[in-house]
Chains A and B, each alone.
Chain A
Amino acid sequence: MSIQSIWLVPALPLIGFLINGLFRNSLSKSLTGIIGSGTILLSFVVSLLIFGQVRQPGFQGEVVTLFDFITVGKLSIPFAFQVDQLSTLFLLIITGVGFLIHLYSTSYMHEEAAPHFARYFAYLNLFVFSMLLLVLGANFIILFIGWEGVGLCSYLLIGYWFKNLDYGNAAKKAFIMNRIGDLGFLIAIFLMIRQFGSVEFGEVFAHASSAKVGVLTAITMLLFVGATGKSAQIPLYTWLPDAMAGPTPVSALIHAATMVTAGIYMIARSHVLYDLTPVTQSVVAVIGLLTALLAATIALKQNDIKKVLAYSTVSQLGYMFLGLGVGAYTGAVFHVMTHAFFKALLFLGAGSVIHAMGGEQDMRRMGGLRKWMPVTNLTFLVGCVAIAGIPPFSGFFSKDEILAAAYAKNPVYYGVGLFTALLTAFYMFRLYATTFSGGFRGTQDQEHHLHESPSAITIPLIVLAILATVAGFLGIPEAIAPDAHVLGKYLAPVIGGEAHGGVEVSKGTELGLMALAAVLALVVSVWAWVRFKSRPDLAEPTGFGKVLANKWYVDELYNAVIVKPLDLLAQLLVFIEKNIIDGIVNGVGRLVQYGSRQLRLLQSGQVGGYVLLMVVGILVLFLVELFVKK
């Protein structure tokens, strides 16, 4: 298949969106499902075909221009797609995982009425379309279009059950927080326009080295602000856990596998700029690390199954930023990929659980589910192992690559990163043990309903479980087997050789670190499993645990520092508007009226008074004549 037909990839989901959206009232649910999933599948197939071409050695990135989007003066922004190794990889992840989630959704959402079902699939298709646009864009504007598009779809999907106002609020929060980030992105684009006169990747990257470091730092920092919004990093991460209000497949698709990785993609894409700005790199690394740690600590004390996964997502995203910050772009992308698999798996598994529990999300009311849901149990366990970083599951490899690079940059990074990884292992197995082990703690009614999910749900689980298990082998580190890093080699034309920030660690150290991480992860996992299997964490947290359970009170902080003052300001402005600005305007009117009332008193009706005033007038004129110089 020709590279030129790349437009099919986003076009197919768009068609799916249009059909499902416009004819949602007349389509049957099965047809909707077929259209929704089928278009993504087709898209995946096309992506595979394209991938077939791209993976040929020596393939250089190609730009496929569809039409002129905006042309003003010297600034020309074509609607063009960038086809290269990086974007193709993402295409595969998005369409592949996307398809699985669509498939899963046909079953998971089956209880919805047909129009809403169709609406759901339309949104999902639109989301895939936006995400594809994001990764395919050959310039920052197209990227930005997809960027905002996924934000929108996230908004629509989180608020899918629009009757519930809390969900609506969560959706709104997601959109607005994303917008804050987008603003940074947008300003970065303007800076690029001013600096380079272009927003095309090729142009910008080619001239990057000639720009002043200050400007580049500003651009990269602003881009990173955008990334913090989209990828839920400090300080804009709070929307992501709230976004769990959406249907679970949405959480899987958007808030785990794809959308939130947009920030990683974008920074990886513009790594040329980041390589030139060490300051930003450090910031990215530190923010990533802090986010990873913060989210991990919060996840320790969450009881909502999806919330744990959400914070784990934030934490993992922090990892990826750490990778980006230390220059391990391949590692970051690698982690994106593996994370896509196991996090989608975990979310879908959680969805399966929730489905079986009749909508219950609180782990404290679960327990011992493996008895009823063997497939879910097993696949979920695979996911947990993978995310915990236990070899040879995929998470181990990708996480290790990042940690190794972090160590090379700064051992402190490594230390914190490792600690976070252990926390991850801990809370994941806490989750697993509480949910699947021990005895059932829910109601009779719920117990009665417990059942393994249908195949439309389990098949994606199985597929993802397999992927989560084996994907790690795409990126076997140099230390273990030279030249076995398939992914690294594949991405090399775009990202360049594996740049560990210039500092290479010795093979021995790397192996040592690897072993340390693996062993510790294993120990922590087992410990957590054993601990929570018998004594699930049911009590209300106290002390520091309460702080964690309440997410470090960050939401409250934001509320007090930003939302409330803004609200007060708005109220103040309303007051000013009414009383001062409009007050002045009305005051002028009233003044005229008042003046009128007073002035007409001059008209006393008495001739004597009139003549007197006339004489006074004459006097004034004469006095002016006498005393005022002209």
Chain B
Amino acid sequence: MGITQVLFWFLSILALLSAILVVISKNPVHSVLWLIMVFVAISGHYILLDAQFLAIVNLIVYAGAIMVLFLFVFMLMNLNAETEPQKNRWLKIAGVVAGGALLLVLVAALKKADLKLQVAEMNRGDIGLIHTLGVTLFKDYVVPFEISSVLFLSAMVGVVVIGKKE
């Protein structure tokens, strides 16, 4: 087992454990922190997969900006402590069961795919580099890129509409 594999397994387990902790943490702030942990682990995977640009963006945008936003909101609402009264246990159990079942059927469905020979190649290729991505983004993907600005505009307008005091 090379270093890559070791890292893969480490990151995978880290991601999964953190993810589970996101879900089960009682304190919302802990959830946020564990989620950041998941993002870090995923960024590690990106690096393993030679997607350096995405790894950086993920850390900056997600773990940095977005999660901070979440934290801000928690702070704003002063909800850092446990606030969920434990009612409706059945719905919870049903939720876990349903999630598990979904995992099962997805795995079952995808296991049938004969992908043994397919590999996600590591340590090779430059498609994850900012240069390559940038060129493609502004050549082939310029239209969606521009269009996503509409998305931001609308989000902006929306937040203004919602947030403005009347």
Quick check: do A and B touch in the complex, using CB within 8 A?
yes
CA–CA, A520 to B129, complex, Å? 140
Interface pair A622/B109, CB less than 8 Å apart: yes
Which residues of the partner chain A approach B105 to less than 8 Å between Cβ atoms? 619, 622-623, 626
Query: Which chain B residue has the least Cβ–Cβ distance from A609?
Result: B91
Residue of B nearest to A622 (CB): B105
Residue A612 CB within 8 A of the other chain:
yes
Residue of B nearest to A618 (CB): B102
Measured in the bound complex, the distance between the Cα atoms of B95 and A15 in whole Å is 94
Q: Which of A606, A619, A622, A625 contacts B98 (CB 8 A)?
A: A619
- Which of the residues A606, A609, A619, A625 comes within 8 Å of B101, measured between beta carbons? A619
| Complex interface bits, A605-630 against B, C-beta within 8 A gives 1, otherwise 0 | 01011001001101100110110000
**5 A-B interface contacts by CB (under 8 A):** A609-B91, A612-B95, A615-B101, A618-B102, A622-B105
Chain A residues packing against B (C-beta within 8 Å): 606, 608-609, 612, 615-616, 618-619, 622-623, 625-626
B108 and A619 contact, CB distance less than 8 A: no
Q: For A612, give its contact among B91, B106, B108, B109 (CB under 8 Å).
A: B91
Is B99 interfacial (CB-CB < 8 Å)?
A: yes
B119 within 8 A of A: no
B161 within 8 A of A: no
CA distance A167 to B21 in the complex (A): 98
B141 to chain A, nearest CB (A): 31
Q: Does B106 contact A615, Cβ atoms closer than 8 Å?
A: no
B94 in the interface, Cβ–Cβ < 8 Å?
Answer: yes
Q: A621 — nearest CB in chain B belongs to which residue? A: B105
Taking A622-B105, A623-B105, A625-B109 as contacts, is the C-beta distance between A615 and B91 under 8 angstroms?
no
A608 to chain B: which residues have CB within 8 Å? 91, 95
Task: Please report the C-alpha to C-alpha distance between residue A608 and residue B95 in the assembled complex, in whole angstroms.
Answer: 8
With both chains docked as a complex, state the minimum distance between the C-beta of A617 and any C-beta of chain B, in angstroms: 11
Q: Please, how many angstroms separate the alpha-carbon atoms of A609 and B91 in the complex?
A: 7
Chain B residues with Cβ below 8 Å from A618 are: 102
Within 8 A of A (CB), among B77-123: 91, 94-95, 98-99, 101-102, 105-106, 108-109
Given contacts A608-B91, A612-B94, A612-B95, contact A626 B102 (CB under 8 A): no
Say whether A626 contacts B108, CB under 8 Å. Answer: yes
Closest to B92 in A: A608
Are A622 and B106 in contact (CB-based, < 8 A)? yes
Interface pairs A-B: 7 shortest CB-CB: A622-B105, A615-B98, A608-B91, A619-B101, A612-B98, A615-B102, A622-B109
- For A615, the chain B residues whose CB sits under 8 A away are 98-99, 101-102
Q: How far apart sit A625 and B108, CA to CA, in the bound complex (Å)?
A: 11
User: In the bound complex, what is the Cα–Cα distance between A405 and B120 (angstroms)?
Assistant: 118
Chain B residues in 8 Å Cβ range of A622: 105-106, 108-109
| Chain A residues with CB under 8 A of B101 | 615, 619
Residues of B within 8 A of A619 (CB): 98, 101-102, 105
Q: How far is the CB of A450 from chain B (nearest CB, A)?
A: 103
B75 to chain A, nearest CB (A): 24
**Complex alpha-carbon distance, A216 and B109, angstroms:** 78
Specify the chain B residue showing the minimal Cβ separation from A606. Answer: B91
Shortest Cβ distance from B106 into A: residue: A622
Q: Which of B40-98 contact A (CB under 8 A)?
A: 91, 94-95, 98
Chain A residues in 8 Å Cβ range of B108: 622, 626
- Smallest CB–CB gap between A614 and chain B, Å? 9
Smallest CB separation, A190 vs chain B (Å): 69
Question: Which residue of B is nearest A620, CB measured?
Answer: B105
Shortest A453–chain B CB gap in Å is 102
Given the complex of chains A and B, what is the CA–CA distance between A608 and B102 in angstroms? 16
In the complex, which residues of chain B have a beta carbon less than 8 angstroms from the beta carbon of A609? 91
What is the CB-to-nearest-CB distance from A601 to chain B, in angstroms, rounded to a whole number? 15
Question: Cα distance A625–B109 when bound, in Å?
Answer: 8
B101 to chain A, nearest CB (A): 6
Q: Tell me the bound Cα distance from A626 to B109 in angstroms.
A: 7
Complex CA distance for A618 and B98, rounded to whole angstroms: 10
What's the minimum C-beta distance from A3 to chain B, rounded to whole angstroms? 98
Q: Which residue of A lies closest to B105 (CB)?
A: A622
Closest chain A residue, CB of each to CB of B112: A626
One digit per residue, 1 when the CB lies within 8 angstroms of any chain A CB and 0 when it does not, for chain B 112-156 equals 000000000000000000000000000000000000000000000
Q: In the complex, which residues of chain B have a beta carbon less than 8 angstroms from the beta carbon of A616?
A: 98
A265 nearest CB across to chain B (Å) = 89
A509 to chain B, nearest CB (A): 107
How far, in whole Å, are A606 and B95 apart by their CA atoms in the complex? 13
Shortest A611–chain B CB gap in Å is: 8
Give the complex CA separation of A619 and B95 in angstroms.
13
A288 vs B135: C-alpha distance when bound (angstroms)? 117
Once the chains are docked, how many angstroms separate the CA of A606 from the CA of B87? 13
B95, B105, B106, most chain A CB atoms within 10 A: B105
Inter-chain contacts of B94 with A (CB < 8 A): 612
Q: Give the residue name and chain of the B residue nearest to A604 (CB).
A: B91
Bound CA span A235–B80, Å:
101
Question: Which single residue of chain B is at the shortest CB-CB distance from A623?
Answer: B105
Closest Cβ of chain B to A354, distance in Å, is 93
A391 → chain B, closest Cβ, in Å? 110
Cβ-closest chain A residue relative to B88: A608
CB nearest to B102 among chain A residues = A615
C-alpha spacing A616/B98, complex, angstroms? 7
Contacts A606-B91, A612-B94, A616-B98 known; list 5 others, CB within 8 Å: A615-B99, A619-B98, A623-B105, A626-B108, A626-B109
